[in-house]
Amino acid sequence: MSQLVPKENRLRTRSIPYDLTILGIVMIVSGIMDTYLIIANPDYRLPIFGMKLEGPLGWYLNLLFPVIHFIVGYGVLLARRWSYLLFMGFTLYGIISASVNFLRLPPPHNIRTVFLIVSFIVLGYLYVRRRQFKH
Protein backbone atom coordinates (compact mmCIF):
# COMPACT_ATOMS: atom_id res chain seq x y z
CA MET A 1 0.00 0.00 0.00
CA SER A 2 2.79 2.44 0.82
CA GLN A 3 4.13 1.89 -2.69
CA LEU A 4 0.99 3.48 -4.13
CA VAL A 5 1.44 6.70 -2.15
CA PRO A 6 4.06 9.04 -3.64
CA LYS A 7 7.15 9.34 -1.46
CA GLU A 8 6.77 13.11 -0.95
CA ASN A 9 3.25 12.62 0.50
CA ARG A 10 4.18 9.90 3.01
CA LEU A 11 5.73 12.17 5.59
CA ARG A 12 4.43 15.69 5.64
CA THR A 13 6.29 18.08 7.85
CA ARG A 14 4.74 21.24 9.12
CA SER A 15 6.48 24.19 7.52
CA ILE A 16 5.29 26.80 10.04
CA PRO A 17 6.02 26.06 13.72
CA TYR A 18 3.12 25.80 16.14
CA ASP A 19 4.43 28.61 18.33
CA LEU A 20 4.28 31.05 15.42
CA THR A 21 0.79 29.85 14.54
CA ILE A 22 -0.34 30.48 18.12
CA LEU A 23 1.36 33.89 18.16
CA GLY A 24 -0.34 34.84 14.88
CA ILE A 25 -3.72 33.80 16.26
CA VAL A 26 -3.08 35.80 19.46
CA MET A 27 -2.29 38.88 17.37
CA ILE A 28 -5.48 38.52 15.33
CA VAL A 29 -7.56 38.03 18.50
CA SER A 30 -5.84 41.10 19.93
CA GLY A 31 -6.89 43.06 16.85
CA ILE A 32 -10.48 41.88 17.31
CA MET A 33 -10.43 42.86 21.00
CA ASP A 34 -8.92 46.28 20.19
CA THR A 35 -11.60 46.89 17.57
CA TYR A 36 -14.35 45.96 20.03
CA LEU A 37 -12.92 48.22 22.75
CA ILE A 38 -12.68 51.15 20.34
CA ILE A 39 -16.28 50.67 19.19
CA ALA A 40 -17.56 50.15 22.75
CA ASN A 41 -15.68 53.23 24.07
CA PRO A 42 -15.58 55.80 21.24
CA ASP A 43 -14.38 58.60 23.54
CA TYR A 44 -11.31 56.69 24.78
CA ARG A 45 -7.97 57.85 23.46
CA LEU A 46 -4.92 55.65 23.82
CA PRO A 47 -2.08 57.45 25.59
CA ILE A 48 0.90 57.72 23.24
CA PHE A 49 4.18 59.01 24.64
CA GLY A 50 2.39 60.45 27.67
CA MET A 51 -0.35 62.33 25.82
CA LYS A 52 -3.82 61.62 24.48
CA LEU A 53 -4.47 63.00 21.02
CA GLU A 54 -7.98 64.34 20.44
CA GLY A 55 -9.92 64.80 17.24
CA PRO A 56 -9.48 62.92 13.98
CA LEU A 57 -5.78 62.19 14.59
CA GLY A 58 -6.57 60.52 17.93
CA TRP A 59 -9.34 58.43 16.36
CA TYR A 60 -7.05 57.46 13.46
CA LEU A 61 -4.31 56.33 15.84
CA ASN A 62 -6.85 54.33 17.85
CA LEU A 63 -7.87 52.47 14.69
CA LEU A 64 -4.30 52.05 13.48
CA PHE A 65 -3.34 49.65 16.27
CA PRO A 66 -5.94 46.95 15.50
CA VAL A 67 -5.00 47.16 11.82
CA ILE A 68 -1.34 46.59 12.68
CA HIS A 69 -2.34 43.67 14.93
CA PHE A 70 -4.28 42.08 12.04
CA ILE A 71 -1.44 42.61 9.55
CA VAL A 72 1.22 41.26 11.92
CA GLY A 73 -0.97 38.29 12.86
CA TYR A 74 -1.53 37.41 9.21
CA GLY A 75 2.18 37.65 8.44
CA VAL A 76 3.18 35.61 11.47
CA LEU A 77 0.68 32.87 10.51
CA LEU A 78 2.56 32.62 7.21
CA ALA A 79 5.98 33.05 8.90
CA ARG A 80 6.90 35.96 6.63
CA ARG A 81 10.12 37.87 7.25
CA TRP A 82 8.39 41.25 6.89
CA SER A 83 6.02 40.34 9.73
CA TYR A 84 9.00 39.63 12.00
CA LEU A 85 10.43 43.08 11.27
CA LEU A 86 7.02 44.76 11.68
CA PHE A 87 6.36 42.85 14.92
CA MET A 88 9.75 43.81 16.36
CA GLY A 89 9.29 47.47 15.39
CA PHE A 90 5.74 47.57 16.76
CA THR A 91 6.88 45.95 20.02
CA LEU A 92 9.80 48.38 20.42
CA TYR A 93 7.44 51.29 19.76
CA GLY A 94 5.07 49.90 22.41
CA ILE A 95 7.88 49.56 24.95
CA ILE A 96 9.10 53.12 24.38
CA SER A 97 5.60 54.61 24.48
CA ALA A 98 4.60 52.63 27.59
CA SER A 99 7.84 53.69 29.32
CA VAL A 100 7.12 57.36 28.63
CA ASN A 101 3.51 56.87 29.80
CA PHE A 102 4.85 55.20 32.95
CA LEU A 103 7.01 58.23 33.70
CA ARG A 104 4.54 60.98 32.72
CA LEU A 105 1.06 59.72 33.61
CA PRO A 106 -0.28 59.31 37.14
CA PRO A 107 -0.56 55.87 38.75
CA PRO A 108 -1.85 53.19 38.86
CA HIS A 109 0.56 51.56 36.44
CA ASN A 110 -0.49 47.93 36.86
CA ILE A 111 -1.46 47.40 33.21
CA ARG A 112 1.58 49.29 31.93
CA THR A 113 3.88 47.24 34.13
CA VAL A 114 2.43 43.95 32.88
CA PHE A 115 2.56 45.24 29.29
CA LEU A 116 6.24 46.17 29.64
CA ILE A 117 7.19 42.81 31.18
CA VAL A 118 5.28 40.82 28.55
CA SER A 119 6.66 42.98 25.73
CA PHE A 120 10.26 42.34 26.79
CA ILE A 121 9.58 38.60 27.00
CA VAL A 122 7.95 38.53 23.55
CA LEU A 123 10.74 40.67 22.09
CA GLY A 124 13.38 38.24 23.38
CA TYR A 125 11.40 35.20 22.27
CA LEU A 126 10.92 36.57 18.76
CA TYR A 127 14.60 37.38 18.51
CA VAL A 128 15.47 33.78 19.42
CA ARG A 129 12.93 32.44 16.87
CA ARG A 130 13.84 34.91 14.10
CA ARG A 131 15.21 32.18 11.80
CA GLN A 132 11.73 30.61 11.56
CA PHE A 133 10.48 33.60 9.57
CA LYS A 134 11.06 33.04 5.87
CA HIS A 135 10.98 35.08 2.66
Q: Using a pLDDT cut of 90, give the percent of the chain over it.
A: 56
Q: What is the mean pLDDT of the chain?
A: 87
Does the predicted TM-score (pTM) go above 0.85?
A: no
CA 92, chain centre distance (Å): 11
Q: Which DSSP symbol is given to 131?
A: G
Which of the two residues, 117 and 61, has the higher pLDDT score?
A: 117
Task: Tell me the DSSP string of 64-76.
Answer: HHHHHHHHHHHHH
Compute CA distances 30 → 2, 9, 45, 73, 96, whole Å: 44, 36, 17, 9, 20
Q: What is the DSSP letter of 26?
A: H
Listed by start position, the domains of the chain span 16-132
Q: Is the pLDDT of residue 6 over 70?
A: no
pLDDT digits (tens, 9 = 90+) for 43-101: 888 888 888 888 888 888 888 999 999 999 999 999 999 999 999 999 999 999 999 98
d(CA 126, CA 135): 16
